[in-house]
Structure 1
């Protein structure tokens, strides 16, 4: 069974981790108003906090690709408190998709008001 994933940072087309999605099916873009985006330096992080929207790309991925994304995002399902990102399901125009939510404080990071990284 395939899974949907919504990405907003280095996994988007043209960015340096997009190769991990080369075998995935691109479904399209959306804007998720349930998220707020932060600039973490080399990559962004999103929190579950309402905003004017974060621009995402939605993909259909296999379980194997999802596991590769979990490794990249340091999502540890058996130790969520140690995870860099948590994986949450959010509604998109393409269906409910897994989205990686930053799991660290953001007080010292700039909010990305445009929602586009």
Structure 2
């Protein structure tokens, strides 16, 4: 996907340390996109790494972890749910609402 260029209006707002909700939304979207691209770069580097650096078991675990991240992002994009899932960590698992994304992800987590 090719994202639109940053508009001149947005650059002018940022240059003045200003910006409305649209400008903030653009920055947040681009940060989320950058994080996902960095994670994908890690996956690609590991896949291409020599087995002495990243063996078969590690590559398999990385693929499983990537699939879990991709599934979570399809259900709810990373930006909105990630901070909330970290805040939920103090809540006992049985007290969360049924179908809570944090519980579903925890159930699928691959042990280290």
Q: Which has the higher helix share?
A: 2
Fold match, TM over 0.5? no
Query: Which TM-score band applies after superposition, normalised by the shorter structure?
Result: under 0.3
TM-score where L is the length of structure 1: 0.23
Give the number of the structure with larger relative contact order, counting CA–CA contacts within 8 Å between residues 6 or more apart: 1
